[in-house]
A and B are shown apart, each in its own frame.
Chain A
Amino acid sequence: MATPETGVGAEYQQRVADTMTTTLTRLLDRSEPVTVDMRLMDELGLSSTLALELLLECEDELEILIDVEQMDQDQMKTIGDLATFVAENSRPS
């Protein structure tokens, strides 16, 4: 999904989303793959700590720094929401 308002490229956002779903599938040790429309807490039972671990792994994998200070956890309902936030609030490390 392109976000022309912020200039974030669709390709980059897709990379973030792919990294998140792959990482979460591993972190949660799920046999079924995680998809971007899944709800973080209600569906996947993601704790705050695991969410931070996910962000840390994304930083390492994508070689970025995420500006977590701006992250309003209550607005992050799905993996897609989180991927959009990361794509819009990160810079190369």
Chain B
Amino acid sequence: MTSLDAVSVYLPPTRLPIEQLAGSLGLTEMQVKLFRRFHGLREVGRDPDMSLSDLLMKAAAGLDALRGQEHRVRYVLYARAMPVVAPYPVNALHEVCRALGLQHALAFTVTQQSCASGLMAIDMAGRLLAADTAPGPSHRAGDPAGPLALILAGEKAFTHDAQVFADTTVFGEGSAACLVSASGARDRLLAYASNVRGDFDNATGENDARLQREYRPLLAEVMLRALDEAGLTLDDIRVILPHNVNMVTWQRMCLLLKFPRDRVLLDNIPASGHVFCADLFVNYQTACARGLLQPGDRYLAAAVGAGGGATFAAMVFEH
């Protein structure tokens, strides 16, 4: 069963209040007030002097469980929200692989589901590893030396689109690294559900109102479907780890799901904004640091990737 063996997160210590970004982002005074008052977005991490490779390396360097296990890593998946993250010919993924001694691993990027690509990367890593460890003559269940995948997430706010999503969220810089195995004992993936909706393409803006209307019901549907596939209900869930789009969306999701708001981890929205595909890992680390997850607790992760279409995704884990 796919499991998250270790997670490391890096958030730049330099924080910028959104008022300070308003000029460069072209935000009106009203938009800034809305972000702060209702969306709960106050500041984001930015380090203009740090390259994307260095940003990703900061998280990877904190992954103690990787040290000495590099030879076991077969796949490196870079989950990212934006199709363009660095000017050609910079290839941050390959630079990081070289720096970590992972040149032997198959390294590729998953970006087609925007901010939901992080969850897709976990699913994909798990399925690749499961295929590699399919029962055979040399297979040992729960092999402590079995193959691993490394997931990287985190982006620079490189283009305007990567800095702000109109009237919805402000992106913050940060990074995450996560080791995945096919049979680990920690944070086991119980179910994954997603709904890929190409009909919400936002190229012309004509689908925006419909997406606004259907956003929460569609997200709720995948969350409940993931729970159903895991044989669980919301009552079994200790905490929801959301995507950090904004506060008001999750306040309304709680009303829709009839789920207590204080069990949705919203701590990082005001301080870090939407950290692209790294939100799940950032929130996971906060949940662990706050002691919100005890062994055996089940938790739900959810994300929406909106851009060229929309993807609604949810995962159920057991800690």
A73 touches B38 (CB 8 A): no
Partner of B34, one of A41, A53, A70, A73: A53
| Interface bracket on B | 10 to 19
Cβ contacts under 8 Å, A68 to chain B:
38, 248, 251
Cβ contacts under 8 Å, A48 to chain B:
212
Partner of A47, one of B209, B251, B261: B209
Contacts A47-B212, A48-B212, A72-B255 given; does A56 touch B248 at CB 8 Å? no
B167 touches A49 (CB 8 A): yes
Q: How many residues of A contact B (CB 8 A)?
A: 17
A52 touches B209 (CB 8 A): no
Cβ contacts under 8 Å, B33 to chain A:
56
Q: Which residue of B lies closest to A49 (CB)?
A: B167
Partner of A52, one of B38, B208, B256: B38
**Is A69 interfacial (CB 8 A cutoff)?**
yes
**Is B139 interfacial (CB 8 A cutoff)?**
no
Chain B positions within 8 Å of A, measured between CB atoms, are 30, 33-34, 37-38, 167-168, 208-209, 212-213, 248, 251-252, 255-256, 261
Chain A positions within 8 Å of B, measured between CB atoms, are 41, 45, 47-49, 52-53, 55-56, 59, 68-74
Supplied contacts A55-B38, A56-B38, A68-B38, 6 more A-B pairs, CB within 8 Å: A47-B209, A48-B212, A52-B248, A53-B30, A72-B252, A72-B255
Q: What 9 pairs across the A-B complex have the smallest Cβ distances?
A: A49-B167, A69-B251, A72-B255, A48-B212, A52-B38, A52-B34, A56-B33, A68-B38, A56-B37
